[in-house]
């Protein structure tokens, strides 16, 4: 069960990162915000909070699942 959940977590991270990168690449040369920060223009992946959410949420779910499984033995 734990192995399946960890594989699922890494799959969500992997496909979420690829999807976000594809969207950022298509929108990279379109300025949606007129007063955007220079960091956003130079590093759109680092300035995009959804990338952090794709990484953080599955890791948090995996950690909660691990703790829950270890406590219910």
| Run means of pLDDT, 10 residues per run, the chain, 73 residues | 78 82 71 58 67 82 85 84
- Give me the DSSP letters along 13-73: HHHHHHHHHHHHHHHTTS--STT--HHHHH-TTTT-HHHHHHHHHHHHHHHHHHHHHHHT-
């Amino acid at each position: 069960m734990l192995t399946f959940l960890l594989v699922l977590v890494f799959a969500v991270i992997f496909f979420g990162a690829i999807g976000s990168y594809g969207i950022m690449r298509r929108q990279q040369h379109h300025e949606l915000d007129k007063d955007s920060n220079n960091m956003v223009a130079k590093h759109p992946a680092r300035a995009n909070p959804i990338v952090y959410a794709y990484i953080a949420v599955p890791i948090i779910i995996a950690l909660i699942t691990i703790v829950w499984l270890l406590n219910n033995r």
